[in-house]
């Protein structure tokens, strides 16, 4: 019985729910429509809990680091202090703001978001600007016909997308638009169709219980 | 020969320095190079410009601070255009890191309009619906029952009787939608939103993913495409309110030239050293 | 003078994060962990105020939420929407997901994932066919028009349409691993590879703009907002 709940039940549920949703698409009926509407609301609520799980496991990771005194565990304290500060500021901001929500402009919470979270996250990704230049210099070599095509397309698109390229030669934007709208379009369409077909295959594998990777976690 | 060999071993910090200067110098001494408008941007501008006053435009700001320098100017340019045309704007996000970027954008744009003597009222002229988890389910939910998916706005006010959402129960009754995306949410809005509920949809996205949306442009599933900072700058210029994106385009020009020259010279060095090296 | 502490702090944090380009260092590490804590604290608040409270708690206990607007004017008859107990089912499934962190109950999360992923697969299947495959195939097989009385450029458009068709077809041949890439199939898949290389090249060329935009965004902040907070106005 126990193995039924752990092994067969999930596969059965995936099949039943999947088929219900699939049939409703092709055979719309007030009842199936209502089930569909209710299911969508469910998914939003379940997804919210999944997000909470993500938050909990991150906090758990840093808690373990502190507990085991792993190298650099002092930084994990920084994470915890920052977390509780943001949490408490949020709660206080909420209780004193007009709407009862800390999210509006003018609260301490919004201040911390704009002046701490935004600059740090933005800069973390801005660093990639330096790396992309360095990578272009180091890795982009015309070693064979394929690499040469890649390189030429990249250079033409780069020159066609900035005003300076346009100033150097008026036809750069035309060429880059043509590459994007014709050659790039046909390649991207091929990729899109390939991915679409594999998504359909995956959906069928899930419905019929062949794909079970989602069952990971405990036995 | 020696020169080219040494050139290939150039210290990465020199490249970083050149890039940094390439960004800073044009920002301090702008050249103001002209820019032509791409047809895929023009179409979005023309569509929004042709909407009747009071029409409702859904603006999904699906990104977080990581791509904010690129996409926030885009969202603001769209908002400015809508408010100028007296359109009503409904803003939301599928990204948990994004809601306060909506607050920042609406706050600063409405302050600009207030300074020009036009006071925009929250709940009447616009609404910030905030964030919901679930991605695709939020899109489908907004199509099935909008006010049940978003029972309140971002700050907890009930949406049921909000004037801006009057008689609007599904995204299928929208007059236009602009999706500003840093990731695959744009595909979701096309496949699950536009296809099911039929509203006209334009995409604005980071330059990383812009090249992916040309098939949808070609199949007419989307009306137009704003790609990266360039797309934002073009839109700013179309609305006659050049802003931070336009200001950044000179720096884009210079760093792009640096990258192109780096590739070309590195390849010359590669070919020269390969021949002389007898490999 | 009004000191803009927020801007000053944001500037120092920006420089702290930028220090990573020289090498990983304690300043960056500090910033990275500070960011993580702030971000998680932010997400918790967002999840609570934007989702948990309106979509779950206030559905179960409407008195905690906004009252019916029509009854606001008369406090005596103030009324609230009816509770919706259906939300208890997904809430339970959600709790199962969280139980994943306790090994003994981890298997319960399978039930939730099965409902979520199974239902989603059922929704996804027809929508991908109708939203991606069919429209893209229809567009890929658009009529070839080379002569058009109104459109003088029809011939060039026709050529482009033909190129798109060939390009997409060759890419699909390359993706179709079941057939051996020899003879005609080998030739077509080789063209498919070339088309893909141009596609990736175009994507890379565009990507440079994305990365540089972020860098420019931070530079604009440091030059025009941060330095201004110290009284150094560089214009713009």
Which domain range does residue C94 map to? 84-140
Tokens (6 digits) for C60:
């179960």
pLDDT of the residue at A142: 86
Listed by number, the residues of chain A in 46-105 with a beta carbon closer than 8 Å to a beta carbon of chain B are 46-48, 50-51, 99-101, 103-105
Does the pLDDT value for residue A36 go beyond 70? Answer: yes
Q: Do B65 and A104 touch (CB under 8 A)?
A: no
Chain A contact set for B23 (CB, 8 A): 129
What is chain C's pLDDT, residue by residue, as a tens digit (236 residues)?
Answer: 578 899 999 999 999 999 998 888 999 999 999 999 999 999 999 888 888 888 888 888 888 877 776 666 666 677 788 888 888 999 999 999 898 888 888 888 888 888 888 999 999 999 999 999 999 999 888 777 777 767 666 788 888 889 999 999 999 989 886 677 778 888 898 999 999 999 999 999 999 888 999 999 999 999 999 998 888 888 75
Say if residue C164 is in the same domain as residue C124. Answer: no
d(CA B32, CA B17): 23
Confidence of residue B100 (pLDDT cuts 50, 70, 90): very high
Confidence of residue A8 (pLDDT cuts 50, 70, 90): confident
Question: 3-state SS string over C58-112?
Answer: HHHCHHHCCCCHHHCCCHHHCCCCCCCHHHHHHHHHHHHHHHHHCHHHCCHHHHH
Listed by number, the residues of chain B in 53-112 with a beta carbon closer than 8 Å to a beta carbon of chain A are 64-69, 96-97, 99-101, 103-104, 107
* End-of-domain residue from the set C48, C68, C83: C83
For residue C4, the chain A residue with the least C-alpha distance is A115
Q: Do C206 and B131 touch (CB under 8 A)?
A: no
Instruction: Tell me, yes or no, if C196 comes closer than 8 A to chain A by beta carbon.
Output: yes
CATH architecture of B39-242: 3-Layer(aba) Sandwich (3.40)
pLDDT of the residue at C75: 66
Best probe of the A interface among B19, B251, B256, by most A CBs < 10 A, is B256
Instruction: Tell me, yes or no, if C94 comes closer than 8 A to chain A by beta carbon.
Output: yes
pLDDT of the residue at A1: 63
User: Where does B116-211 have alpha helices with state H?
Assistant: 136-144, 146-149, 185-188, 195-197, 207-210
Task: Note the pLDDT tens digit of each residue in A131-157.
Answer: 999 988 888 888 899 999 999 999 999
pLDDT of the residue at C146: 73
How many domains is chain C built from?
A: 3
* ipTM field: 0.89
For residue C210, the chain A residue with the least C-alpha distance is A129
pLDDT of the residue at A218: 46
For residue A14, the chain C residue with the least C-alpha distance is C118
Chains that touch A (3 or more CB pairs under 8 A): B, C
Confidence of residue B4 (pLDDT cuts 50, 70, 90): confident
User: Where does chain C have alpha helices with state H?
Assistant: 5-18, 26-46, 58-60, 88-98, 108-128, 134-140, 154-175, 183-221, 227-229
Residues C225/A142, Cβ–Cβ less than 8 Å = no
Residues A177/A160, Cβ–Cβ less than 8 Å = yes
Mean pLDDT to the nearest integer, A188-209 = 91
Taking alpha carbons only, the member of A214, B197, B1 closest to residue C117 is A214
Task: Note the pLDDT tens digit of each residue in B237-272.
Answer: 999 999 999 999 999 999 999 999 999 999 999 888
From the CB of residue A66, how many other CB atoms can be counted at a distance below 10 Å? 15
Say if residue C70 is in the same domain as residue C112. Answer: no
**How many alpha carbons lie under 13 Å from residue B262 in its C-beta half-sphere?**
29
Instruction: Tell me, yes or no, if C66 comes closer than 8 A to chain A by beta carbon.
Output: no
User: Where does chain B have alpha helices with state H?
Assistant: 2-8, 12-28, 39-49, 68-84, 99-115, 136-144, 146-149, 185-188, 195-197, 207-210, 214-218, 228-238, 244-277
Residue C236 domain-assigned (yes or no): no
């Amino acid at each position: 019985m126990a193995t039924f709940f752990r092994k067969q039940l999930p596969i059965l549920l995936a099949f039943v729910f999947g088929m219900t949703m699939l049939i409703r698409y092709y055979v719309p009926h007030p009842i199936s429509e209502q089930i569909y509407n209710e299911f969508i609301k469910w998914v939003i609520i379940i997804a919210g809990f999944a997000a909470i799980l993500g938050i909990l496991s991150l906090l758990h990771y840093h808690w373990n680091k502190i507990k085991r005194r792993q190298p650099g565990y002092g930084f994990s304290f920084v994470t915890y202090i920052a977390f509780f500060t943001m949490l408490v500021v949020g709660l206080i901001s909420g209780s004193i703001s007009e709407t009862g929500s800390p999210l509006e402009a003018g609260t301490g919470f919004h201040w911390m978001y704009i002046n701490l979270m935004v600059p740090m996250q933005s800069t973390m990704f801005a660093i990639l600007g330096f790396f992309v230049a360095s990578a272009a210099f180091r890795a982009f070599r015309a070693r064979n016909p394929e690499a040469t095509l890649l390189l030429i397309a990249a250079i033409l698109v780069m020159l066609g997308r900035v005003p300076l390229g346009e100033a150097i030669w008026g036809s750069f934007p035309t060429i880059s638009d043509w590459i994007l709208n014709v050659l790039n379009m046909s390649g991207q369409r091929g990729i899109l169709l390939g991915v679409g077909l594999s998504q359909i295959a995956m959906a069928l594998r899930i419905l019929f219980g062949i794909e079970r990777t989602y069952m990971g976690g405990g036995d | 020969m020696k020169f080219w060999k040494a050139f290939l071993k150039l210290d990465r910090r020199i490249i970083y320095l050149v890039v940094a200067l390439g960004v800073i110098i044009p920002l301090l001494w702008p050249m103001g190079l002209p820019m032509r408008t791409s047809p895929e941007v023009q179409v979005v501008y023309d569509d929004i410009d042709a909407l009747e006053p009071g029409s409702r435009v859904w603006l999904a700001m699906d990104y977080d601070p990581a791509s904010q320098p690129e996409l926030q100017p885009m969202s603001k340019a769209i908002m400015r255009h809508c408010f100028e045309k007296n359109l009503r704007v409904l803003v939301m996000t599928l990204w948990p890191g994004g809601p306060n970027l909506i607050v920042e954008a609406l706050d600063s744009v409405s302050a600009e309009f207030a300074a020009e003597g036009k006071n925009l009222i929250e709940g009447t002229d616009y609404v910030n619906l905030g964030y919901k988890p679930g991605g695709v389910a939020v899109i489908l939910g907004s199509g099935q029952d909008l006010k049940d998916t978003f029972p309140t706005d971002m700050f907890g006010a009930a949406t049921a009787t909000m004037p801006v959402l009057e008689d609007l129960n599904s995204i299928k009754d929208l007059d236009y939608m602009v999706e500003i995306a840093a990731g695959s949410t744009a595909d979701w809005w096309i496949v699950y939103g536009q296809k099911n509920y039929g509203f006209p949809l334009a995409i604005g996205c980071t330059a990383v993913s812009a090249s992916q949306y040309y098939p949808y442009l070609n199949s007419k599933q989307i009306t137009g495409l704003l790609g990266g900072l360039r797309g934002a700058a073009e839109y700013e210029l179309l609305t006659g309110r050049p802003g931070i994106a336009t200001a950044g385009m000179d720096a884009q020009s210079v760093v792009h030239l640096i990258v192109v020259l780096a590739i070309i010279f590195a390849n010359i060095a590669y070919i020269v050293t390969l021949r002389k090296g007898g490999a | 003078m009004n000191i803009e502490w927020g801007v000053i702090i944001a500037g120092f944090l920006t420089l702290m994060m930028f220090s990573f380009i020289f090498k990983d260092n304690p300043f960056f590490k500090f910033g990275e962990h500070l960011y993580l804590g702030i971000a998680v604290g932010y997400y918790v608040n967002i999840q609570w105020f934007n989702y948990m409270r309106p979509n779950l708690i206030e559905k179960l206990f409407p008195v905690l939420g906004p009252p019916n607007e029509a009854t606001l004017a008369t406090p005596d008859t103030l009324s609230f929407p009816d509770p919706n107990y259906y939300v208890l089912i997904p809430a339970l499934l959600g709790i199962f997901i969280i139980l994943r962190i306790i090994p003994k109950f981890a298997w319960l999360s399978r039930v939730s994932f099965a409902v979520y992923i199974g239902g989603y697969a059922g929704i996804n299947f027809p929508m991908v066919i109708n939203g991606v495959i069919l429209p893209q195939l229809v567009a890929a097989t658009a009529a070839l028009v080379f002569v058009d009385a109104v459109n003088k450029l029809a011939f060039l458009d026709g050529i482009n349409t033909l190129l798109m068709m060939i390009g997409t077809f060759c890419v699909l041949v390359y993706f179709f691993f079941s057939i051996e890439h020899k003879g005609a199939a080998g030739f077509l898949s080789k063209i498919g590879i070339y088309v893909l290389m141009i596609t990736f090249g175009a994507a890379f060329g565009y990507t440079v703009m994305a990365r540089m935009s972020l860098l420019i965004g931070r530079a604009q902040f440091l030059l025009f907002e941060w330095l201004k907070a110290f009284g150094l106005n560089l214009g713009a």
